């Protein structure tokens, strides 16, 4: 660590924050501790890097001119209203919820970012309650090694490159989304020229960034529901009538409706009308229930089930 | 981010923090910022040289270093111009918003409403566009089930669940002493003491159809066992079963925790640890003709019996004319 560097950047930030007008470089060089004693070239280099560093941590360093007559006289400042956390207030109950948030992330970088957000709230005089609440234990994990680099790239709008299904891709990350314990990235696949969804666990190598942050805009009216439709079960295409024994096969009963006027069934069975998507998946599912579920119709489906059961009974 | 950047980001929050918390405790402050006390001391040493441009003695931030060294208390002054923290970065506010959405999944009643209102305030600060950058959805129940469970946990009252069990594929109605709602791996769970089983059990909320009050309260039973084993945990009674399957059944090696997978005669040989015979029976029935061999052979007996029973029921149905044989 370089304490001198931290001091200098802090002093620069304060100097720009206190400025009423755009300050030119020469003035900054004179008043900010840490620039004195540098050669012209060293000062130029150091000042440019410090400015980039401030912007990288989110400090809005503005560039402009004080004079419309001499627009080339460039100076710098930080506008207080762009810099400071806007007024925000939380009730005690809300502060308790915020305190719980610090325990949610199971991945180091995200946990740090949450802690850093909560530290800012504390600095604004809000006190998130850090004590553990009994009765709740929320946790979000991200086992995928690609998660943290893609999180960073998504937040900063940085293009990434990675291999996926045997193809090298260049992707503009739009949205990361978490479904049933897995992370997905929705974005614009430049290689394919279309919006695509990627499962993070299936990335073939570590994503690497391409170019600078802020390289693209997210589409207006971006519809996350539309983008993640492939993750939802396909709509039902057909219907079967099945006989279900008693309390068995709750998954089928949940999506089905009871049938009243069924023909006589074995004792303990009731008839249900159940929608399904694909023959193959439904046959497999029904077979899994063994003697607890019988297909009544369609007959073709029933024959497939009987055929597969016969293979097991042999 | 380099260490200097991390440090400057922290300092920009630390200065207003110390002004909002006069005479702050060193250890508590370090904890609030997620750093060691030693790192915090290094931060204070940097601030010692920071202040208004010009660098005159009166321009610098004042810190009572003696009080820090001797009593572990921090007093900082002469920094009115840095009395508010910087805005959230998008990473910070998004990580906080997503974490709160997970908190929302396990809270009910007034606590749940507080999470909603906190989320609304943060989303406003983040900006509509920015707060859409991360999606978060977990498998859970309708909110009424969560509300009832949260209320029962708070009141320490037992509940009767209507639970659609997965492995055994049947609905049961266990009486449970509810302990905690958890979010793990994309699902919301109830951890509780099952009176029927006389043991800790976890129940997926998306499989709880209803929650009703039951007799009695919640006894003190200590902490439930660690969650994360899930059904990956190797139970002592688990048996090693080897399936020889066709290519079409290769998915099982991605879907279930397997001991080993190897190529075998244009198919696969997969070793599974089976803790629950009902699970293996269901798997074999689903795989049907895709299973070529099971070792030990008696592990397949229960599936074979189930398939035979089903076939007899079909024969009965078809024989009785309830179901026509015509296509």
Q: Supply B175's token pair.
A: 């009486």
Question: Could you tell me how many helices (H) and strands (E) chain A has, helices first?
Answer: 11, 12
Nearest 5°: phi and psi at A42? Answer: -65, -40
Q: Give per-residue burial for B178-197: e unless 16+ CB within 10 Å, then b.
A: bbbbbbbbbbbbbbbbbbee
**In which band, very low, low, confident or very high, does the pLDDT at B320 lie, cut at 50, 70 and 90?**
low
User: Does residue A63 surpass a pLDDT of 70?
Assistant: yes
Looking up tokens 């998504």, which residue turns up?
A154
Give A98: exposed, middle or buried? Use CB within 10 Å, 0-12, 13-18, 19+: buried
User: Does residue A1 surpass a pLDDT of 50?
Assistant: no
Intervals of CATH 1.10.10.10 along chain A: 3-83
Three-state DSSP class for residue A122: helix
Interchain pair A14, B82: CB under 8 A:
yes
pLDDT (0 to 100) of residue B226: 79
Q: What is the mean pLDDT of residues B231-246?
A: 73
B 284-323: CB under 8 A from A: 284-286, 288-289, 291, 300, 303-304, 306-311, 313-314, 316-317, 320, 322-323
Residue in A27, A123, A281 to test binding to B, most B beta-carbons within 10 Å: A123
Q: In B83-220, which residue ranges form alpha helices assigned H by DSSP?
A: 90-104, 109-126, 143-155
pLDDT (0 to 100) of residue B326: 41
Of B71, B81, B88, B169, which is closest to residue B122 (Cα–Cα)?
A: B88
Instruction: Give the β-pairing of A167-179 and B76-77.
Output: unpaired
**In which band, very low, low, confident or very high, does the pLDDT at A286 lie, cut at 50, 70 and 90?**
very high
User: Does residue B327 surpass a pLDDT of 50?
Assistant: no
Judge contact between A11 and B50, C-beta under 8 A: yes
Q: Please write the tens of the pLDDT for every residue from A36-49.
A: 889 999 999 999 99
Nearest 5°: phi and psi at A210? Answer: -125, 120
ipTM here:
0.87
Q: Please write the tens of the pLDDT for every residue from B187-200.
A: 999 999 999 989 99
Give A223: exposed, middle or buried? Use CB within 10 Å, 0-12, 13-18, 19+: exposed
Q: In this complex, which of B95, B118, B285 lies closest to A288 when CB atoms are compared?
A: B285
Q: Please write the tens of the pLDDT for every residue from A111-165.
A: 999 999 999 999 999 988 867 677 888 999 888 999 999 999 999 999 999 999 9
In terms of CATH architecture, what is A147-231? Answer: Roll (2.30)
pTM over 0.95: no
Intervals of CATH 2.30.30 along chain A: 147-231
Q: Please write the tens of the pLDDT for every residue from A155-185.
A: 999 999 999 999 999 999 999 999 888 999 9
Residue B51 has what DSSP assignment? B
Residue of A nearest to B139 (CA): A180
User: Does residue B123 surpass a pLDDT of 50?
Assistant: yes
- Report how far residue B173's alpha carbon sits from residue B161's, in angstroms, rounded to the nearest whole number: 5
pLDDT (0 to 100) of residue B229: 45
Interchain pair A119, B17: CB under 8 A:
yes
Residue in B22, B83, B91, B146 to test binding to A, most A beta-carbons within 10 Å: B91
A218 contacts in B (CB within 8 Å)? 129, 133
Domain A3-83's class? Answer: mainly alpha
Of B114, B20, B133, B93, which is closest to residue A86 (Cα–Cα)?
A: B93
């Amino acid at each position: 660590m370089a304490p001198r560097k931290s001091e200098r950047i802090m002093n620069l930030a304060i100097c720009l924050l206190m400025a009423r007008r755009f300050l030119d470089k020469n003035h900054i060089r004179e008043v900010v501790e840490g620039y004195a004693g540098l050669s012209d070239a060293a000062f130029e280099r150091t000042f440019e890097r410090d400015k980039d560093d401030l912007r990288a941590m989110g400090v809005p360093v503005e560039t402009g001119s004080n004079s419309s007559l001499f627009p080339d006289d460039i100076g710098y400042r930080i506008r207080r209203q762009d810099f400071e956390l806007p007024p925000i207030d939380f009730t005690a109950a809300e502060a308790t919820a915020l305190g719980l948030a610090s325990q949610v992330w199971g991945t180091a970088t995200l946990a740090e970012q949450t802690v850093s957000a909560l530290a800012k709230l504390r600095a604004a005089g809000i006190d998130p309650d850090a004590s553990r609440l009994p009765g709740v234990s929320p946790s979000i994990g991200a086992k995928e090694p690609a998660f943290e680099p893609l999180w960073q790239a998504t937040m900063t709008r940085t293009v990434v490159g990675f291999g996926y299904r045997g193809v090298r891709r260049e992707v503009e990350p739009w949205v990361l989304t978490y479904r049933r314990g897995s992370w997905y990235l929705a974005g614009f696949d430049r290689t394919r020229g279309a919006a695509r969804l990627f499962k993070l666990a299936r990335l073939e190598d570590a994503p690497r960034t391409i170019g600078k942050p802020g390289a693209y805009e997210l589409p207006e009216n971006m519809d996350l529901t539309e983008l993640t439709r492939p993750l939802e079960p396909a709509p039902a295409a057909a219907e079967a009538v099945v006989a279900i024994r008693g309390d068995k096969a709750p998954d089928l009963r949940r999506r089905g409706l009871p049938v009243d006027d069924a023909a006589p069934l074995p004792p303990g069975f009731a008839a249900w009308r159940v929608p399904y998507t694909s023959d193959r998946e439904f046959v497999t599912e029904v077979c899994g229930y063994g003697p607890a579920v019988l297909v009544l119709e369609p007959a073709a489906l029933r024959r497939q089930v009987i055929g597969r059961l016969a293979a097991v009974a042999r | 981010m380099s260490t200097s950047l991390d440090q400057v980001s922290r300092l920009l929050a630390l200065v207003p923090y110390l002004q909002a918390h006069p005479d702050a405790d060193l250890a508590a402050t370090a904890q609030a910022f997620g750093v060691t006390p030693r790192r915090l001391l290094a931060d204070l040493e940097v601030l010692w040289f920071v202040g208004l441009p010009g660098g005159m003695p009166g321009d610098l931030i004042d810190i009572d270093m003696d009080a820090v060294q001797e009593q572990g208390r921090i007093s900082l002054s002469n920094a009115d111009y840095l009395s508010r923290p910087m805005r959230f970065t998008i990473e910070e506010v998004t990580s906080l918003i997503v974490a709160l959405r997970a908190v929302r999944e396990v809270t009910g009643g007034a606590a749940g409403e507080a999470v909603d209102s906190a989320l609304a305030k943060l989303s406003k600060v983040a900006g509509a566009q920015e707060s859409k950058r991360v999606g978060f959805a977990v498998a859970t129940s309708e909110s009424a089930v969560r509300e009832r469970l949260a209320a029962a946990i708070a009141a320490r009252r037992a509940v009767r669940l209507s639970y659609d069990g997965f492995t055994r594929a049947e609905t049961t109605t266990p009486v449970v002493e509810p302990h905690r709602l958890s979010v793990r791996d994309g699902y919301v769970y109830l951890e509780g003491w099952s009176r029927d089983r006389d043991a800790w059990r976890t129940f997926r909320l998306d499989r709880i159809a209803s929650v009703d009050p039951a007799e009695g309260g919640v006894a003190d039973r200590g902490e439930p066992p660690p969650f994360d084993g899930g059904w990956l945990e190797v139970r002592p009674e688990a048996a090693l079963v080897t399936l020889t399957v066709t290519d079409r059944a290769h998915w099982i090696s991605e879907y279930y925790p397997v001991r080993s997978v190897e190529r075998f005669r244009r198919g696969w040989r997969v070793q599974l640890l089976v803790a629950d015979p009902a699970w293996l029976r269901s798997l074999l029935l689903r795989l049907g003709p895709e299973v070529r061999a099971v070792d030990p052979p008696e592990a397949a007996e229960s599936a074979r019996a189930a398939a035979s029973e089903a076939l007899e029921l079909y024969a009965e149905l078809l024989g009785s004319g309830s179901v026509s044989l015509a296509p």
